Chains A and B, each alone.
Chain A
Amino acid sequence: MADKKKLKLAICRGATCSGCDIAVLDIHEKLLDVLEAADIVFAPTLIDVKYKDVEAMEDNEIDVCLYHGAVRDSENEHMAKVMRQKSKILVAFGACACFGGIFGLGNVSNKEGIFEEVYKKTASTDNPEYVTPQTKHVDKEGHELTLPRFYDDVFTLDDKVDVDCYIPLCPPTPDQIMTALTAIISGNIPPKGAVIASEKTLCSECDRTKSTDRKIDRIYRPHEIEIDQEKCMLDQGLLCMGPATRAGCGTICIKANVPCRGCNGPTKEAFDQGGNMLNLIATIFDIEEENLTEEDIMKIAKQIKDPLGTFYRFTLPKSMLRRVRIGGSSK
């Protein structure tokens, strides 16, 4: 199809670990098919195209932009807005862009807390005057140097700009990427707001055998027990996020004998992945209900180390409370 006009593809990065960039390369030889149908016009990790080059493009000139990473500073937000303007389809690519991801856990603190930790408290820091990054600095020769402004909050991509579709996971799997790209290349644009994943929960893809009574009398962390390869993780007392998480990844972690951590996010009818999961776990605490005391419940509940970090590992900025309240405010 040499005469068919090639698509223009961009890959933009926000607050990211770059795993999502690598994920694109993980489609291996299929990359050749993609490159046959599309030109990569902007991708800071792969090609040397500057921000100003993108800014100079026409509106909607780019067909598809995969934006990965959360929005954590003014540069992330600026690029999110630029990419929105220049792209016909903007894809929130990976858990960070979709729900904040691991970066979203920054919402347990704020700028002040994070700076203090990084530029003052860590053991390797020697910074007696507590010098912290400034957004603007003019050196002796009069050169003006700037840095992006670091925000108090971590945002998801759709907190800041309109998003067309979502490919969650940390990072997206080659299958999911190809499903999305093949659809877009062939003109099957997913409907607005579509999530390229299954509608069902992860349990639907999981082959492990489930008990009939489905109760938990003790919670284990993965290193504390020998994990049975055949039995449901929850039935073994492991905090597997499966029941609160979308399917679509093919249970790759579970197949590696690691409980699901929830990077595919909640289903479309669930509005707080972490709260829902804690709620479910607590419901099935195996305590004689007739003689229930607060101590009995706390005995099991206390075995959950860091519930916030466990249940909201990838979705804190998209949760109902969005962030930890510091000094009595939600800022």
Chain B
Amino acid sequence: MRLDVFICNCGGEVKIPEDMDFGDDVEVKIIDDIFSGKTRDEISSSIENGKQVVVAGPSPRVMEKFFNDPNVELVNIREHVAWANHDPGKIKELISGAVEKLRNSKIVKKKTTIIRNKNALVIGGGVAGLETARQIANAGFDVYLIEKEPFIGGTVAKLDRLYPGGIPNSHTLDPLINEVVVNKNIEILTNSELESVSGGIGDYKVKIKTKGNIVEGKLPKKCEEVCPVTVNDDGVERKAIYYMPTYPDSYGIDFKSCNKCGECTDVCGDISLGETERYLKVGAIVVATGLKDYDASAITEYGYGKYNNVLTKLEFERKFTNELIKPKSVVIVNCAGSRDENHLPYCSRVCCLLGLKEAKLIKDTNRDIDVYINYIDMRSFGPFEEFYNTVRENYGVKFIQGRPSEILQDSDGALVVRSEDILLGKNIETRTDCVVLMTGFVPDTELFQMLGIQADNGFPTEYVNSCRSVDSNPRGIHITGAAAFPKGVTDTVTDARECATEVINVLSKYSVENKTPVATINSDICSEADCRICITVCPYGAVYLKDEEVTVNPELCMGCGICTATCAAGANQLEGYDDKGMLAQISGMVKEGDIVALLCKWSSYSASDKAGYERLDYPENTKILKLPCTGRIDAQMILKAFSSGAKGVLIAGCPPDACHYFTGNFKARKRVIALKELIGQFGIDPESLRIEWIGKDESKKFVDILNELNSSRGVN
């Protein structure tokens, strides 16, 4: 016996016909509770004995929790037969399809990865990195924390205070730094950057480049005095060798500015200006590289870089609190370059709040300074509405709704901010001696590329695709804090803890299993670099050229099957959904006059289940097949359905822009529409082939379309 078929009558809800014979190589067992411990053990032992298994019972949506294995084919006989009030004879046809699929598919091997290294690399020593490192280390795992600047602390260390209350940054940062620095499980490497990375989850090999050295507590102030290089560090001048009260407690060299003149080494022989390389092996990587300001000089009409008193938010805060400027009035320009097709099309989420913070900072210092905020919309979400109201009502900050069109300098040196005041409905000019541009934030594209993180608008796709911010892709590489998308300190700390939980989850295991089916390339057939069309369609960059060969990175592949369906040679196959298996399943279950529904498991398949529990009427001759994405559906499957006797074929997936894999539904649409023309030539009514967007709750739409298909002629 090679194949075991378990058929569950769901406690008597499903009537199972007498004749359940699928051939000599198939053993059939009728059970009445799929979830009883005994049955689950029995099924698990079949799987462990290397048998292929069909389990027929409730929807895969329900069964998947227990039998999530590509070698187990789940057949839905509760929602799709019993609850739909269809003839039980359909059960045999559906199971026959599943049996044929398994007979013709390759057995999928387990993809287990041993977590060899019980440690993590955290990139970035700001709040996100510090908090993540602290949590991972507290769970007992070693952490390498690397920071490219000479000091840890990140953006927050450069700030004076945090919104909304205006508490000093030290409230958040100092206890965190103290705890991290003394933690024996954490090794901090400053002036260090990631040079290269290879390997995968559990066994990443990374190369770290460190510039200079740390000479703790030994350096005399003289080192700084002799340094000839003066640097503008976000509004405050300092030398290329300088001190910052975070960590290390040492003078640090800013190698971006250092000209390696050697003056400081003459004063203190312990200082090194050289570079060292370290090769580390880590089990997981955390990206906590934080915020990077959008280049304000790109917004030419605002005159940043041209007028000395047009400042970025960080420059202003540092200059103002260090009493380097004493303006009489300040105009804060929100959304400078944000929500603007020419600059950053997105909202950076925290700039409105930072603007309010600067306004309050000014008023807290000197109530006589006039403060204006130019804004498009105030996005002081959640509890911050109160913050906004306080700043507006109690502090007398003037709000002008309108994005400035330009900033000019008058002959007397004053700045003139031209904008429309939408609420007054007229153009206004605000004269001031200081403008603060609340520019948005940009992602660290270079690092994302090195780590193979797919980006959308520059930010990691997983984050943009909502609800999945803590998932990692590639596996074992986690993004946290503002590196994923701009966020404030509170959100960053929460995010860092979530991320640490994920990392601890991985490191605490002996091995992890990748249950996502992945695409594989048959290099006997593939034309490799000479074709590489499948590379261009992958939404994750998982298909790539490695030494001139088309290769799938299983750490990145999400199993959508878009590439598989694109390959015209059958060289690219998706595990568990290979061509031979799918075609055999279709011909195994479809009979003359059937309607075949090829449904995406994320949306329309759920709608078909819903039609079942709502007991909606739809044609009994409907045969439903579940796919990871409509992007997996190719012409072969559709043509096979017609050649097996189908009189109608429905392809249904997620609504536009809601595809789980971003573009699978669009690819399917192109394929199906183009195919309509062809089947018309074959004498099949093009209207008997339909592609529709059906959301997971749209059971009525699903049923209506099936009824329409069933009443059509089917042929020209």
Q: Is the CB of B674 within 8 A of A321?
A: no
Asked whether B667 lies within 8 Å of A283 as measured between CB atoms, the reply is yes
Q: A212 — which chain B residues lie within 8 A by C-beta?
A: 536
A267 touches B643 (CB 8 A): no
A283 to B671, CA, bound (A): 6
Q: Which among B568, B666, B677, B684 has the highest number of chain A CB atoms within 10 Å?
A: B568
* In the complex, B344 has a CB within 8 A of chain A: no
A213 proximity list for chain B (CB < 8 A): 536
Contacts of B537 in A (CB 8 A): 283-284
Q: Mark A286-299, 1 if CB is under 8 A from B, else 0.
A: 01011010100110
Stretch with Cβ within 8 A of B (4 or more), from A44-52, A129-137, A322-330: A322-330
Tell whether B1 is near chain A: CB-to-CB under 8 Å. Answer: no
The 0/1 profile, CB within 8 Å of B marked 1, for residues 259-285 of chain A is 000000011111111111111111111
Once bound together, how far apart are the Cα atoms of A287 and B522, in whole Å? 29
Contact A287 B670 (CB under 8 A): yes
B677 near A307 with CB under 8 A, answer: yes
Asked if residues B657 and A290 are in contact (CB atoms below 8 Å), the reply is yes
Partner of A311, one of B524, B671, B678: B678
Whether, in the assembled complex, B34 has its beta carbon less than 8 Å from a beta carbon of chain A, the answer is: no
Q: Which residues of B contact A271 (CB under 8 A)?
A: 570, 579, 583, 636, 640
The interface size bin for chain B is: 35 or more
Given A243-B531, A244-B568, are A321 and B639 neighbors across the interface (CB < 8 Å)? yes
Which residue of A204, A243, A244, A268 is within 8 Å of B528 (Cβ)? A204
CB distance from B575 to the nearest CB of A (A): 15
- Determine the distance from Cα of A278 to Cα of B676 in the docked complex, in whole angstroms: 11
Q: A199-B524, A283-B537, A290-B657 are in contact. Are A243 and B673 (CB under 8 A)?
A: no
Query: In the complex, what residue of chain A is closest to B684 when comparing beta carbons?
Result: A325
Contacts of A282 in B (CB 8 A): 670-671, 673-675
In the complex, the answer to whether A244 meets B675 with C-beta atoms within 8 Å is: no
Are A210 and B636 in contact, with the CB atoms below 8 A?
no
Given contacts A319-B639, A324-B682, A328-B715, A200 and B524 within 8 Å (CB-CB): yes
Q: Which of B568, B657, B677, B684 contacts A302 (CB 8 A)?
A: B677
Q: Within B501-557, which residues are at the interface with A (CB < 8 Å)? A: 522, 524-528, 530-533, 536-537
Q: A283-B566, A308-B681 are in contact. Are A297 and B639 (CB under 8 A)?
A: no
Complex Cα–Cα for A272 and B527 (A): 18
Residue pair A292, B528 in contact (C-beta under 8 Å): no
| CA distance in complex: A23, B336 (Å) | 73
A201 on the B face (CB < 8 A): yes
Residues of B within 8 A of A297 (CB): 669-670, 673-674
Closest to B681 in A: A308
Q: Chain B residues near A253: list those with CB within 8 A.
A: none
Shortest distance from the beta carbon of A141 to any chain B beta carbon, whole Å: 46
Q: Given known contacts A282-B673, A307-B678, A325-B683, is B656 in contact with A277 (CB within 8 Å)?
A: no
Min Cβ gap B334→A in Å is: 28
B245 shortest CB reach to chain A, Å: 49
Asked whether, in the complex, the Cβ of A203 is within 8 Å of the Cβ of B673, the reply is no
A231 contacts partner chain B, Cβ-Cβ < 8 Å: no
Closest to A290 in B: B657
Write out the residue numbers on chain B whose beta carbons fall within 8 Å of the beta carbon of A278. Answer: 635, 674-675, 678
Q: Which of A268, A306, A325 contacts B525 (CB 8 A)?
A: A268
Cβ of A234 to closest chain B Cβ, rounded Å:
8
Q: Is the CB of B636 within 8 A of A325?
A: no
Return chain B residues, CB-CB under 8 Å to A280.
533, 566-568
In the assembled complex, the Cα of A269 lies from the Cα of B571 at a distance in Å of 7
Per the bound structure, the CA–CA distance linking A199 and B675 in Å amounts to: 27
B630 within 8 A of A: no
Is the pair A275, B678 in contact by a Cβ cutoff of 8 Å?
Answer: yes
- B670 and A204: CB pair below 8 A? no
Whether the Cβ atoms of A307 and B681 lie closer than 8 Å is yes
Binary interface encoding of chain A residues 197-238 relative to chain B, with 1 for a CB under 8 A from any of its CBs, else 0 = 001111110100010111100000000000000000000000
Q: Are A320 and B643 in contact (CB under 8 A)?
A: yes
Question: Digit string of B677-709 for contact with A (CB within 8 Å is 1, else 0)?
Answer: 111011110000000000000000000000000
Q: What A residues does B577 contact at CB under 8 A? A: none
Contact with A along B621-641 (1 / 0, CB 8 A): 000000000000011101110
B565 within 8 A of partner (CB): yes
Which residues from chain A contact B531 at a C-beta distance below 8 Å? 201, 203-204, 210, 242-243
List chain B residues, Cβ under 8 A from A200: 524-527, 569
Confirm or deny: B606 has a beta carbon within 8 angstroms of a beta carbon on chain A: no
B571 to chain A, nearest CB (A): 7
Q: How far is the CA of A328 from the CA of B713 in the complex (A)?
A: 9
**A249 smallest CB distance to B (angstroms):** 14
Q: Across the two chains, which residue of chain B brings its CB closest to A272? A: B636
Do B670 and A201 have beta carbons less than 8 Å apart? no
Whether A276 contacts B666 by the Cβ 8 Å rule is no
Are A214 and B532 CB-contacts (below 8 A) given A320-B643, A326-B683? yes
Given B522, B640, B674, which contacts A320 in the complex, CB threshold below 8 Å? B640
Query: Which residues of chain A are within 8 angstroms of B570 by Cβ–Cβ distance?
Result: 266-271, 276
- The interface residues of chain A lying within 8 Å CB-to-CB of B635 are 272, 275-276, 278-279
Q: Which of B531, B580, B716 has the most CB of A within 10 A?
A: B531
Contact: B525 with A267, CB < 8 Å? yes
**Contact flag A276-B569 (CB < 8 Å), given A200-B526, A204-B527, A297-B674:** yes
B536 contacts across to A, CB distance below 8 A: 212-215, 284
A40 within 8 A of B: no
In the bound complex, how far is the Cα of B681 from the Cα of A103, in angstroms?
Answer: 18
Q: In the complex, A287→B667 CA distance in Å? A: 10
**Contact (Cβ within 8 A) A292 B643:** no
Q: Which residues of B sit under 8 angstroms from A201, Cβ to Cβ?
A: 525-527, 531, 568-569, 571
Interface residues of B in 48-101 (CB under 8 A from A): none
Answer yes or no: B316 CB below 8 A from chain A CBs. Answer: no
Residues of chain A from 71 to 108 with CB closer than 8 A to chain B in the complex: 108
A301 sits at the interface (CB 8 A): yes
Contact B669 A279 (CB under 8 A): no
| A251: min CB distance to chain B, Å | 11
A289-B525 in contact (CB<8A): no
Q: When the two chains form their complex, are residues A325 and B682 in contact, meaning their CB atoms are under 8 A apart?
A: yes
B residues near A214, Cβ cutoff 8 Å: 532-533, 536
Contact B682 A308 (CB under 8 A): yes
Residue pair B530, A210 in contact (C-beta under 8 Å): yes
For A322, give the chain B residue with the smallest CB separation.
B643
Assuming the contacts A282-B671, A282-B675, A292-B670, asked whether A243 and B533 have C-beta atoms less than 8 A apart, the reply is: yes
Residue on A nearest B530 in the bound complex, by CB: A203
B634–A321 touching, CB < 8 Å: no
B645 nearest CB neighbor, chain A only: A330
B525 near A294 with CB under 8 A, answer no
Q: What is the bound-complex CA distance between A242 and B532, given in angstroms?
A: 12
Answer whether residue B289 sits at the interface, using C-beta atoms and an 8 A cutoff: no
Q: Which 9 A-B pairs have the closest CB atoms?
A: A269-B570, A325-B683, A275-B635, A282-B674, A244-B568, A203-B527, A289-B666, A276-B568, A279-B635
Contacts beyond the supplied A269-B569, A283-B533, A290-B666: 9 A-B pairs with Cβ under 8 Å:
A269-B573, A271-B570, A275-B678, A276-B568, A276-B634, A282-B673, A282-B674, A285-B670, A289-B667
Pairs A–B under 8 Å by Cβ, sample size 11: A200-B524, A214-B532, A243-B568, A267-B525, A269-B571, A275-B635, A290-B657, A311-B678, A322-B643, A324-B681, A326-B683
